[in-house]
Amino acid sequence: MDTKELLKKIRLLEIKTKGLTKHIFSGEYHSAFKGRGMAFSEVRDYTIGDEVRTIDWNVTARFNEPYVKIFDEERELTVMLIIDVSGSEDFGWQDKTKKDLALELAAVLSFSAISNNDKVGAIFVSDKVEKYIAPQKGKRHALIILREFIEIQPTSKGTNISEALKFFRNTQKKRSIAFVISDFMDQNDFMEGLKVTRKKHDMIAVRLVDEAESELPDMGIVQLFNSETGETTWVNSNSQQVKQTHAENFQKFENKLANEFKKSGIDFVSLSTGEDFVKPLVQLFQNR
């Protein structure tokens, strides 16, 4: 992709997600994610009903009249996008791949963060950390993240989310909000890494799925290719037995993930390439 095409794609992405960010997600985002605490703002005259513990005794002694401290929520947050860029993310049965969905999601979350004057950064992971973008504020920085995501050419096809989580814990010492965006088709034990990370950071898991993963389309005898392992399998996609087994395996994996996230206290949402992601994402924010 040349520079002109890249800029055009980023601009279209910005236009597409701008309305969502401004009219839908900004309010939900602000209420869903709390600041680190309360910061001192100013003092004002004491009025009946104010709590005694809020009295500023130094100012009160100086002016010989009671004054109370006013505190505002310390809003500045750091949002980290931990994005799976392994081979399985290129899968998509119709017009949109899981990577396309992840890109739109990254745009909405990035623009929501900067519109609230928060920092946003990213970690792109396969079975290793492919790229790290340190969190910063501003629209320009959000656009850099999107550009890097579009252009990235992973050096590996495998998946190891735990590597990204370990890197995240080592680089982000202050409490942050982390969105882990992946299909979670990871043979490694990533749940343990998520549990450890959750002790200090606010974790949200976003699973990306494609409709062909839940319901095999009628295509006759087809060759299924595993882009991460390179293995191929021939199946009869018209067979009702094959379809049923395929659907059952998908649902079993989906239920297992949902149960494990719930037990670990990690917010979880599943988004499909064939559906609008707005409603389930807004619902996730509201539930928080």
- Whole-number pLDDT of residue 148: 94
Higher pLDDT, 86 or 211: 86
Region 265-274: what's the mean pLDDT? 91
Q: Spell out the long-range contacts of 220-228 with Cβ–Cβ below 8 A and sequence spacing 24 or more.
A: 226/88, 227/87, 227/88, 227/90, 227/91, 227/157, 228/86, 228/87, 228/88, 228/157, 228/158, 228/159, 228/185
- Whole-number pLDDT of residue 54: 84
- Whole-number pLDDT of residue 222: 63
- Residue 117 — pLDDT band, cuts 50, 70, 90? confident
Q: Which two tokens stand for residue 164?
A: 């990204």
Question: Buried (b) or exposed (e) across 213-233, using 16+ Cβ within 10 A?
Answer: bbebeeeeeeeeeeebeeeee
Q: Is pLDDT above 60 for 239?
A: yes
- Whole-number pLDDT of residue 204: 94
- Whole-number pLDDT of residue 250: 83
3-32+76-287: CATH superfamily: von Willebrand factor, type A domain (3.40.50.410)
Region 189-217: what's the mean pLDDT? 88
Rounded to the nearest integer, the mean pLDDT of the chain is 82
Dihedrals phi, psi of 187, to nearest 5 degrees:
-75, -10
- Whole-number pLDDT of residue 96: 82
**Per-domain residue ranges of the chain:** 3-32+76-287, 37-74
- Whole-number pLDDT of residue 34: 59
